[in-house]
Amino acid sequence: EQASKLGIKTTPDLVQYLKKNPNQFKYGSGGNGSIGHIAAEMFESLTNTKMDHTPFQGSKPALAALESGQVLLVFDNLASALPQIKSGKFLALGVTTLSRNEALPDVHSINDSVQGFNVSTWFGLFAPASLPDADARRYATAFAAAMHSPAGKEKFKKMGITPEELTLDTFAQFVRSENSKYEFLIRAAKIKID
C-alpha cells in the first residue's frame, strides 16, 4: 500500500522511482544472505539502483514489516506472501521467475522489464552422499508419486508452487548451477551472513 502511494504499481515504476530516489527506499528481507536479500541485490545490480536494506530474522517478520509500512518492499517466496496478495494487503509488482506463476496469472515476470533477473525459490530432497543409489532412486520415485498425486498437486497449487520433477543427475547439475550463479552475486555484493 505504501509503495502504491508513491505511484509504484509495476516493476518499471519501481525502477523509475529508485533511479530518482537512490537509497531512500527501504526494503526488507528474511535476513542477511537470505534469498530475498540476494534477489534485491540482483535487482539493484541489473537496474543500477540502490535501496536501503533492513534485514529481519526470517520471512514472517519481514512480511509483518511490509504490512505495517516499516519497509516498502520485500522479495519473498510466493508461498509466504500469497495470502496477503490474494487478500489485497500486498501488491505483487512481479514474480521473480522467468515466467508467470499460475497462482497470479496477471502478474508479470520481473524479467519482462529487467533483463537477466531470475531468482527461483526451490525445494529438493537431499540425503547423505553415502546413501546407496538404489535407495536414493526409491525415495525419489516415492516423492515424485506424492508430488503428482491429486492431493499433492492441490497442496502445491494452493501455495503457488509449480512442482518440477528432475532426475537425480539433472538435479545435481541444477544445484551446481544455482550455487555458481549465487556465489558470483554474493561475492560481488559482498553479502555477509550475521
Domain tally for the chain? 2
d(CA 172, CA 152): 23
State whether 41 and 66 are in the same domain.
yes
Question: Does residue 40 form part of some domain?
Answer: yes
Q: What is the mean pLDDT of each run of 10 residues along the chain (194 residues)?
A: 82 96 94 95 96 96 96 93 93 94 94 95 91 95 93 89 89 92 87 78
- Name the amino acid, one letter, at 36: G
Question: Does residue 127 form part of some domain?
Answer: no
- Name the amino acid, one letter, at 31: G
d(CA 90, CA 53): 19
Question: Does residue 109 form part of some domain?
Answer: yes
Q: Which pLDDT score, from 0 to 100, does residue 191 have?
A: 87
Q: Which pLDDT score, from 0 to 100, does residue 1 have?
A: 59
Question: Does residue 155 form part of some domain?
Answer: yes
- What CATH number corresponds to the domain at position 13? 3.40.190.10
State whether 36 and 50 are in the same domain.
yes
Question: Does residue 50 form part of some domain?
Answer: yes
CA distances from 52 to 24, 58, 140, 149, 188 (A): 7, 18, 42, 43, 17
d(CA 189, CA 183): 10
State whether 35 and 104 are in the same domain.
yes
Kind and range of the H or E element at 54?
Answer: strand 52-55
Residue 107 belongs to domain spanning? 2-120+177-189
Contacts of 46 (CB under 8 A, 6+ apart): 114, 115, 116, 117
Q: Model-level pTM?
A: 0.84
